[in-house]
Amino acid sequence: MLIPIDSLGIILTYKCSSRCRHCLYASGPEWNDFMNQEYLDSLLKEIKKVWKNYHPPRNKNILFHGIHFAGGEPFLNFPLLLHAVKRAKELDLYIGYVETNASWCINREDVHEKFYLLKSAGLSKIFISCSPFHTERIPLKRTLLAIEVALEVFGKENVIVYMEHFLPKIAKIDIENPIPLEKWIEIYGEKAAGYIFWEGYALIPGGRSGFHLGHLFPRYPAEVFREENCKFEILESQHAHFDLYGNYIPYFCGGVSLGKIEDLEEFYKNFDLEKLPFIKILVEEGPYGLSKYAQKLGFKESKDGYVGKCHLCVDVRKFLNDVFPYSQELNPKDFYRFLF
């Protein structure tokens, strides 16, 4: 049984000004599409039907409250983002926050105007990303400008800087220019830099991270993950992401789709794991079980090993997407295309 969501991210686009090596959704400049406004309106109405009397779950982190609008970088289409906030507010949906990487924060007046318009439309909180991965392409000065203006517009209690503890570390290296990850390795050494990246950010080894950053952290044979299934992430987490193509993405599992969202109530009512063979294996046996299935078709386990079960999962799914290019469980297709 798929437990209905009590928190949700709406991915308005996978297009991003950056191309972070840790990105769970393989976002980047290569993507071009944005969510259709008509579909967005329909989707919000469907969420309202499921969340008739929604209250933020007290036992969950604030990051798992209500709806957050995300990307990619949602500010790349500000009219769409502003419409999303306005429409959600009109429907009396609980808006947790809007995410941004601050890449667009160059002109103070522009930043203030956009934040003010969002607040006036009903947004109470802003989420600003800050990490060594983001500063590979985005100078810290833009992040600092975003934070400064956000504090003025939204107030201190309504500005989420994720992850704030990186600010002084980044500032010591460079504020004006992007900082390649290799610079961190040069300063701290490979082992310490790996710890800063993986433990300091609490990385999930899904998306790009296992492939691009796995060499900086301990890796293990697939066999190590044989007892780890994905039942919680897929069926029980009550957190999901709905993307611009209509995919129901469980938890943070970029590249996995439980189906297309049209009528959300009917989606939950008719959800049948038996119709999703790959996902069924993940729920019951985890990525290791999926790897054993894929081996029959020619999949070869990485000799270097895997940082975690999610790293293994993406590697297996990447292979299966090549074998079954029309599989609706492995969506969106460009996730696999833009992993590297």
Please write the tens of the pLDDT for every residue from 290-334. Answer: 999 999 999 999 999 999 999 999 999 999 999 999 999 999 999
**pLDDT value of residue 57:** 79
In Å, what is the CA distance from 223 to each residue of 227, 279, 284, 296, 320? 9, 19, 16, 16, 19
**pLDDT value of residue 59:** 81
**pLDDT value of residue 40:** 99
For every residue of 87-114, DSSP letters joined together read HHHHTT--EEEEEE--TT---HHHHHHH
Q: E strand or H helix at 317, and its extent?
A: helix 309-323
Cβ contacts of 81 within 8 Å, gap of 6 or more: 12, 69, 74, 75, 98, 118
Share of the chain above pLDDT 70, in %: 100
**pLDDT value of residue 60:** 84
Phi-psi sector, 111: left (phi>0), alpha (psi -120 to 50), beta: alpha
Over 90: is that where the pLDDT of 53 sits? Answer: no
Model-wide pTM > 0.95: yes
In Å, what is the CA distance from 163 to each residue of 94, 108, 200? 24, 22, 9
Q: What is the average per-residue pLDDT within 213-227?
A: 98
Q: What is the average per-residue pLDDT within 221-241?
A: 98
Peptide bond into 35 cis (omega under 30): no
Among 13, 83, 1, 3, CA closest to 242: 13
- The per-residue pLDDT for range 183-192, each reduced to its tens digit, is 999 999 999 9
Angle between helices 140-154 and 108-121 (to 10 degrees): 40
Q: Describe the strand order of the beta sheet including 126-129 as a list of residue ranges.
A: 159-162, 126-129, 95-100, 66-70, 7-11, 239-243, 248-250
Q: Cα angle at 135 between 134 and 139, to 5 degrees?
A: 130
Give the Cα separation of 76 and 98 in Å (integer): 13
Give the Cα separation of 246 and 58 in Å (integer): 29
Over 90: is that where the pLDDT of 202 sits? Answer: yes
- The per-residue pLDDT for range 239-280, each reduced to its tens digit, is 999 999 999 999 999 999 999 999 999 999 999 999 999 999
Which residue has 């439980």 as its token pair?
A: 258
* Integer Rg of the chain from CA: 20
Over 90: is that where the pLDDT of 54 sits? Answer: no
For the chain, domain boundaries: 7-219
- The per-residue pLDDT for range 70-114, each reduced to its tens digit, is 999 999 999 999 999 999 999 999 999 999 999 999 999 999 999
Over 90: is that where the pLDDT of 58 sits? Answer: no
Contact 286, 233 (CB under 8 A): no
Among 13, 49, 17, CA closest to 264: 49
**pLDDT value of residue 313:** 99
Over 90: is that where the pLDDT of 55 sits? Answer: no
CA 238: distance to chain centroid? 15
Contact 142, 103 (CB under 8 A): yes
Among 142, 194, 199, CA closest to 171: 142
Over 90: is that where the pLDDT of 52 sits? Answer: no
Q: Does domain 7-219 have CATH number 3.30.379?
A: no
Phi-psi sector, 207: left (phi>0), alpha (psi -120 to 50), beta: left
**pLDDT value of residue 330:** 99
Contact 122, 89 (CB under 8 A): yes
Average pLDDT, the chain: 98
Peptide bond into 214 cis (omega under 30): no
**pLDDT value of residue 56:** 84
Position 12 confidence tier, pLDDT thresholds 50, 70, 90: very high
Give the Cα separation of 9 and 252 in Å (integer): 10
Rounded to a whole number, what is the distance in angstroms from the first to the last CA of the chain? 34
**pLDDT value of residue 18:** 96
- DSSP, collapsed to helix, strand or coil, labels residue 11 as strand
**pLDDT value of residue 163:** 94
Give the Cα separation of 41 and 95 in Å (integer): 15
